[in-house]
C-alpha cells in the first residue's frame, strides 16, 4: 500500500468510527463514549483532512455545514406526493374512521384485533430525505405536497440526519420522510438568548423549526437546535422493505435514521384510545411538542387496498389533542398582588376554549413582559394553556389591532391597599410595599401556608381565606388555629358539616414536618427544595433561627441571596412572634440530628457536582453520603467545585469540568472516597 492509500484508509476508518458514535448518540440515545472523547475523534479527523484536503468527501462528518450561503432555493418535484392526514377530534370520529377501515377491508368482527402503528404527531416541519447508495443526496420541504424546496444544505447541518446510512441491505435509492422539529429545551434556550439580545422571539417550536429550515445560509441553520424523526418511506428502489409499517421504521432505525421512541403497535380502536390517553398524560414531559397522535394501519398490503382520497390516505388518521393555543380579545388588564407583593398583570379575556377548558384570565407575568409584548385592551391575542400551567398571553396579532386600543401603565399605588409600588433597578417585578398591611399579600401568604405542600389544610379554600381576611378575622397563620366551628359554620357557603371537617383538618395539620413548616412560612427565595435542605441540615428550628449567614451558606444550594433573605426573615420580631404562637397552639414536628458540618467529616468543605447515572446508588443517596461526610453538593460546575462525580452518560458538566480543570471521579473512585480510610 502506498502512503495515500494508507491515509485514505485511515480517514475512512476514523469517519466510520465517528458515524458509529453519532448513531449511538443521536439514534439510539445511548452514547458509548463521553463527549470529550467524541470531540477528540472529530478534531483528529479535521486535522487529517486539513493535511489531505484532496481526500475530503461530501459525506464526511466534518462536512455538515457548507462554506457558502446559497443564493436561492431550488425546487424539488416529489415523485410520490407528500400527503396530509385527516383529523379526528373526538373518539366518536376515531370510531367512524375505524368502522370505515374494517368495512373496506371486510374484516367484520375481526376489527378489534386490527393492528395500528401508533405514533405521536410531531409539531414541526415535514421533510423528505433522499439517499442514493446510502449517501444523503437531497433534502426537501413538503411545500404544497407536489413541489417542495431544496433544503439539502440545511438538512445536512442537523446532527440527527445521517450523511451516510449505516448497516447493510438498504435500497439503492431510498426516499424517507419525517418531521424536523425543535426540542422544547432548545426552543426555550433560543428565545432566552433572543430576549437578552433584544431580538424578536419565535412564537412556538414549530415556527422556529420551519423558519430555521428556510435559511439561505446553512451556518444559521446549524446554530439552531433542530432534530428529526422519520415516519415513512416515500419510495425505495433496488432493495426491499418489510411488509409492516412498524417494521419498516425499525429497519430505518437500524440504517441510522431516527424514529420516534414513543411509537407502538396497538390493536383496534380501544388500543388507539389507550395510546391517546397515555401519550396525552405524558405530553408535557416529552422533550418535543406534539399536537396529537397518528394511527396508521400497520400492514402495507392493507394500506394498498385502502388507498387514498384526494390528499389523504384512507389508512391513517391524526387524532388531535385539544388546541393549546387560541385567539381571543383582551377586555381589560388588571394587576394582581401576590404573596410577596409582586404585581402581576393579568389579562381579562373574552372567554375562550383552549387546552380543554374555558379560559377567561391569562397572565402577562410582569410589567416588563407586558411592555415587551405591547398588549393593549382591545387587542386580539394568542392565549396558550399547556397542561396544568396557568394560561398565558403569548403575543398580539398586530394585524387585528383595532384603531382604538388602551395601553396600561404600572400603577403607582397598590390596587388593594394603596401603598406605594416600587420596582428595583434591574428587576422585572414591581411590588406593593405594604407588606402584611396589604390584605392581598396577607391572603396570599395564608393560601400558601395552608397549601398542599405546606401545612396541607384540606377544605380551606382561597375564597374562604379571602372572606376571613376581608372581615379582619385572620391576620397571620397563627390566627387560623383560633377559628371555631360555630364561627366557620356562619361563613358564606359553609354548612355545619364542612365547618366540622375543616376544624378537623386544621387540627390534623398541626402535626407536620419542619420542612413543610419552613416552606409554609413563605420566606422569599425559600422553595420546597431549600426548605427541605434547611430542615435536614439544621434538624431543628432553634438552630436555624440562630444560624448566622456564614452557617446558612454551608447548606447545599443556599447562596448569599437566599441566606440574606432567611436572616432578614428571622430578624423580624413579628415573624418570631407568629412562629411562637403557632407552636403554642400545637403546631409541631419531629426533630432530627443536625447533619455533620464542615468542621468534621472526611469531606469537610469539599464541593461536589454529580453528573450521569451511577449504577449502584441513586443521585439522592450519593448526595446524602457526601453531605453526611461534611461535603457539599451543588448543581453546576464552577471554579469552586472540588470534584465532579461521573456516572454513565455524563452530560455537559463533564466538558465544563475539563475546561476548568476540576478533578474527575468515576464511580469506583467515588466509592473509595466515601468508604473512607
Q: Which of 114, 126, 136, 228 binds ligand IVH (CB under 6 A)?
A: 126
3-state secondary structure of 116: strand
- Closer to ligand IVH by CB, 85 or 514: give it: 85
Q: Which of 142, 156, 442, 606 binds ligand IVH (CB under 6 A)?
A: 142
Q: How far is the CB of 80 from ligand IVH (least distance, A)?
A: 10
Q: Which residues of 148-181 are buried (b: 16+ CB within 10 A; e: fewer)?
A: bbbbbbbbbbbbbbbbbbbeeebbebbbbbbbbb
Report which residue's Cβ sits closest to ligand IVH: 126
337 grid coordinates: 398582588
- Closer to ligand IVH by CB, 119 or 444: give it: 119
φ, ψ of residue 398 to 5 degrees: the values are: -60, -40
Q: What CA–CA distance (Å, rounded) separates 454 from 490?
A: 27
Q: What CA–CA distance (Å, rounded) separates 362 from 349?
A: 7
φ, ψ of residue 470 to 5 degrees: the values are: -60, -35
- Closer to ligand IVH by CB, 115 or 448: give it: 115
Q: How far is the CB of 92 from ligand IVH (least distance, A)?
A: 20
3-state secondary structure of 215: coil
Q: What CA–CA distance (Å, rounded) separates 19 from 37?
A: 14
Q: How far is the CB of 267 from ligand IVH (least distance, A)?
A: 19
Q: How far is the CB of 354 from ligand IVH (least distance, A)?
A: 21
Q: What CA–CA distance (Å, rounded) separates 345 from 411?
A: 10
Which residue's entry shows cell 454529580? Answer: 610
Half-sphere exposure of 392 (CA within 13 A, CB side): 15
Q: Is the dihedral of CA 625, 631, 632, 638 positive or negative?
A: negative
Give the binding range for ligand IVH (CB under 6 A) out of 79-87, 413-421, 619-627, 658-666.
79-87
Give the binding range for ligand IVH (CB under 6 A) out of 121-129, 215-223, 377-385, 590-598.
121-129
Question: Counting contacts by CB under 6 A, is residue 228 touching ligand IVH?
Answer: no
- Closer to ligand IVH by CB, 134 or 139: give it: 139
3-state secondary structure of 357: strand
Q: How far is the CB of 81 from ligand IVH (least distance, A)?
A: 9
Question: Counting contacts by CB under 6 A, is residue 85 touching ligand IVH?
Answer: yes
Q: Which of 25, 60, 97, 119 binds ligand IVH (CB under 6 A)?
A: 119
Q: Which of 116, 202, 231, 569 binds ligand IVH (CB under 6 A)?
A: 231
Direct distance between the N- and C-terminal alpha carbons of the chain, in angstroms, rounded to an integer = 56
Ramachandran region, residue 239 (left: φ > 0; alpha: ψ -120 to 50; beta: rest): left
Q: Is the dihedral of CA 92, 93, 99, 101 positive or negative?
A: negative
Give the binding range for ligand IVH (CB under 6 A) out of 118-126, 542-550, 601-609, 622-630.
118-126
Question: Counting contacts by CB under 6 A, is residue 121 touching ligand IVH?
Answer: yes
Q: How far is the CB of 326 from ligand IVH (least distance, A)?
A: 20
- Closer to ligand IVH by CB, 98 or 142: give it: 142
Question: Counting contacts by CB under 6 A, is residue 227 touching ligand IVH?
Answer: no
Angle at 526 between CA 520 and CA 528, to 5 degrees: 65
Q: What CA–CA distance (Å, rounded) separates 463 from 125?
A: 46
Which residue's entry shows cell 386580539? Answer: 380
Q: How far is the CB of 246 from ligand IVH (least distance, A)?
A: 12
Give the binding range for ligand IVH (CB under 6 A) out of 57-65, 120-128, 373-381, 384-392.
120-128
Q: Which of 57, 62, 63, 84 binds ligand IVH (CB under 6 A)?
A: 84
Question: Counting contacts by CB under 6 A, is residue 294 touching ligand IVH?
Answer: yes
> Which listed residue (121, 447, 606, 632) is catalytic?
121
Residues of span 470-499 touching ligand IVH by CB under 6 A: none
- Closer to ligand IVH by CB, 164 or 177: give it: 177
Half-sphere exposure of 271 (CA within 13 A, CB side): 20
- Closer to ligand IVH by CB, 316 or 629: give it: 316
- Closer to ligand IVH by CB, 151 or 408: give it: 151
User: Residue count at the site for ligand IVH (CB under 6 A)?
Assistant: 15
Question: Counting contacts by CB under 6 A, is residue 438 touching ligand IVH?
Answer: no
Q: What CA–CA distance (Å, rounded) separates 502 from 397?
A: 47
Q: How far is the CB of 288 from ligand IVH (least distance, A)?
A: 10
- Closer to ligand IVH by CB, 27 or 633: give it: 27
Q: What CA–CA distance (Å, rounded) separates 224 from 150?
A: 19
3-state secondary structure of 388: coil
Q: Which residues of 408-439 are buried (b: 16+ CB within 10 A; e: fewer)?
A: beebeebebbebebeeeeeeebbbbebbeebb
Give the binding range for ligand IVH (CB under 6 A) out of 66-74, 115-123, 246-254, 662-670.
115-123
CB-based contact 64:157 (threshold 8 Å): yes
Q: Which of 122, 381, 506, 627 binds ligand IVH (CB under 6 A)?
A: 122
Express the helix, strand and coil content of the chain in percent, nearest 5 each: 40, 20, 40
Question: Counting contacts by CB under 6 A, is residue 139 touching ligand IVH?
Answer: no
Residues contacting 540, CB < 8 A, separation 6+: 514, 591, 592, 594
Q: Is 121 a catalytic residue?
A: yes
Give the binding range for ligand IVH (CB under 6 A) out of 116-124, 193-201, 207-215, 444-452.
116-124
Q: How far is the CB of 449 from ligand IVH (least distance, A)?
A: 46
Give the binding range for ligand IVH (CB under 6 A) out of 11-19, 77-85, 357-365, 465-473.
77-85
Transcribe 411-439 into DSSP letters: PSB-TTT-PBEEE-TT-S-EEETTGGGSH
Give the binding range for ligand IVH (CB under 6 A) out of 52-60, 81-89, 401-409, 608-616.
81-89
Residues of span 170-189 touching ligand IVH by CB under 6 A: 179
Q: How far is the CB of 179 from ligand IVH (least distance, A)?
A: 5
Q: How far is the CB of 86 from ligand IVH (least distance, A)?
A: 8
Q: What CA–CA distance (Å, rounded) separates 236 from 169?
A: 12
CB-based contact 551:594 (threshold 8 Å): no
Q: How far is the CB of 178 from ligand IVH (least distance, A)?
A: 8
- Closer to ligand IVH by CB, 312 or 564: give it: 312
Q: What CA–CA distance (Å, rounded) separates 487 from 474?
A: 12
Q: What CA–CA distance (Å, rounded) separates 413 from 425?
A: 18
- Closer to ligand IVH by CB, 261 or 594: give it: 261
Residues of span 304-343 touching ligand IVH by CB under 6 A: 313, 316, 318
Rg (C-alpha) for the chain, rounded Å, is 30
Q: Which of 152, 232, 299, 419 binds ligand IVH (CB under 6 A)?
A: 232
Of 612, 638, 609, 641, whose CA–CA distance to 626 is shortest? 609
Q: Which residues are catalytic?
A: 121
- Chain residues binding ligand IVH by CB under 6 A are 83-85, 119, 121-122, 126, 142, 179, 231-232, 294, 313, 316, 318
Amino acid at each position: 500500500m502506498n502512503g495515500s492509500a494508507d491515509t485514505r484508509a485511515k480517514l475512512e476508518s476514523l469517519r466510520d468510527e465517528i458515524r458509529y458514535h453519532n448513531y449511538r448518540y443521536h439514534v439510539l440515545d445511548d452514547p458509548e463514549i463521553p463527549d470529550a472523547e467524541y470531540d477528540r475523534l472529530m478534531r483528529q479527523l479535521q486535522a487529517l483532512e486539513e493535511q489531505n484536503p484532496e481526500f475530503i468527501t461530501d459525506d464526511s462528518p466534518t462536512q455538515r455545514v457548507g462554506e457558502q450561503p446559497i443564493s436561492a432555493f431550488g425546487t424539488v418535484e416529489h415523485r410520490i406526493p407528500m400527503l396530509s392526514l385527516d383529523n379526528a377530534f373526538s373518539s366518536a370520529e376515531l370510531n367512524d374512521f375505524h368502522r370505515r377501515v374494517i368495512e373496506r377491508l371486510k374484516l367484520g368482527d375481526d376489527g378489534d384485533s386490527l393492528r395500528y402503528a401508533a405514533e405521536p404527531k410531531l409539531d414541526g416541519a415535514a421533510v423528505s430525505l433522499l439517499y442514493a447508495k446510502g449517501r444523503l443526496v437531497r433534502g426537501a420541504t413538503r411545500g404544497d405536497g407536489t413541489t417542495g424546496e431544496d433544503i439539502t444544505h440545511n438538512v445536512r447541518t442537523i446532527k440527527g440526519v445521517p450523511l451516510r446510512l449505516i448497516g447493510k441491505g438498504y435500497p439503492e435509492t431510498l426516499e424517507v420522510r419525517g418531521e424536523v422539529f425543535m426540542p422544547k429545551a432548545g426552543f426555550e434556550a433560543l428565545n432566552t438568548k433572543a430576549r437578552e439580545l433584544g431580538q424578536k422571539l419565535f412564537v412556538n417550536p414549530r415556527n422556529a423549526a420551519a423558519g430555521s429550515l428556510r435559511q439561505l445560509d446553512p451556518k444559521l441553520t446549524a446554530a439552531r437546535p433542530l432534530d428529526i424523526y422519520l415516519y415513512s418511506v416515500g419510495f425505495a428502489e433496488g432493495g426491499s422493505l418489510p411488509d409492516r409499517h412498524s417494521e419498516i421504521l425499525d429497519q430505518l432505525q437500524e440504517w441510522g435514521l431516527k424514529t420516534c421512541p414513543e411509537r407502538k403497535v396497538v390493536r383496534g380502536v380501544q388500543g388507539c384510545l389507550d395510546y391517546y390517553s397515555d401519550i396525552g398524560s405524558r405530553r408535557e414531559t416529552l422533550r418535543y411538542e406534539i399536537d396529537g397522535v397518528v394511527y396508521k394501519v400497520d400492514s402495507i398490503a392493507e394500506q394498498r387496498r385502502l388507498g387514498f382520497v384526494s390528499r389523504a390516505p384512507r389508512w391513517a388518521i391524526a387524532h388531535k389533542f385539544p388546541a393549546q393555543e387560541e385567539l381571543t380579545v383582551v377586555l381589560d388588564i388588571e394587576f394582581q398582588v401576590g404573596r410577596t407583593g409582586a404585581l402581576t398583570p393579568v389579562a381579562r379575556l373574552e372567554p375562550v376554549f383552549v387546552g380543554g377548558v374555558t379560559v377567561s384570565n391569562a397572565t402577562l407575568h410582569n410589567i416588563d413582559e407586558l411592555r415587551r409584548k405591547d398588549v393593549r385592551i382591545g387587542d386580539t391575542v394568542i392565549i396558550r394553556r399547556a397542561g396544568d400551567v396557568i394560561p398565558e398571553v403569548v403575543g398580539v396579532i398586530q394585524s387585528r389591532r383595532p384603531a382604538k386600543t388602551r395601553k396600561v401603565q404600572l400603577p403607582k399605588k397598590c390596587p388593594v391597599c394603596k401603598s406605594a409600588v416600587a420596582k428595583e433597578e434591574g428587576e422585572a417585578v414591581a411590588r406593593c410595599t405594604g407588606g402584611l398591611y396589604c390584605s392581598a399579600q396577607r391572603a396570599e401568604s395564608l393560601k400558601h401556608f395552608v397549601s398542599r405542600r405546606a401545612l396541607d389544610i384540606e377544605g380551606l379554600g382561597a375564597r374562604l381565606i379571602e372572606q376571613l381576611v376581608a372581615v379582619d378575622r385572620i391576620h397571620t397563620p397563627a390566627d387560623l388555629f383560633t377559628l371555631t366551628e360555630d364561627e366557620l359554620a356562619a361563613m358564606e357557603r359553609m354548612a355545619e358539616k364542612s365547618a366540622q371537617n375543616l376544624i378537623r383538618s386544621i387540627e390534623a395539620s398541626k402535626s407536620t414536618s419542619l420542612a413543610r413548616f419552613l416552606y409554609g412560612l413563605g420566606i422569599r427565595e425559600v422553595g420546597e427544595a431549600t426548605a427541605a435542605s434547611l430542615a435536614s441540615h439544621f434538624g431543628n428550628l432553634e438552630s436555624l433561627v440562630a444560624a448566622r449567614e456564614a452557617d446558612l451558606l454551608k447548606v447545599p444550594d443556599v447562596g448569599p441571596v437566599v441566606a440574606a433573605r432567611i436572616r432578614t426573615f428571622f430578624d423580624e420580631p413579628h415573624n418570631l412572634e407568629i412562629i411562637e404562637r403557632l407552636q403554642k397552639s400545637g403546631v409541631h414536628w419531629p426533630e432530627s440530628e443536625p447533619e455533620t458540618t464542615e468542621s468534621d467529616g472526611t469531606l469537610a468543605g469539599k464541593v461536589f457536582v454529580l453528573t450521569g447515572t451511577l449504577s449502584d446508588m441513586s443521585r439522592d443517596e450519593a448526595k446524602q453520603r457526601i453531605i453526611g461526610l461534611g461535603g457539599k453538593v451543588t448543581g453546576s460546575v464552577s471554579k469552586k467545585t472540588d470534584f465532579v462525580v461521573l456516572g454513565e452518560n455524563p452530560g455537559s458538566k463533564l466538558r465544563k469540568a475539563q475546561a476548568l480543570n476540576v478533578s474527575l471521579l468515576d464511580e469506583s473512585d467515588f466509592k473509595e472516597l466515601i468508604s473512607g480510610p
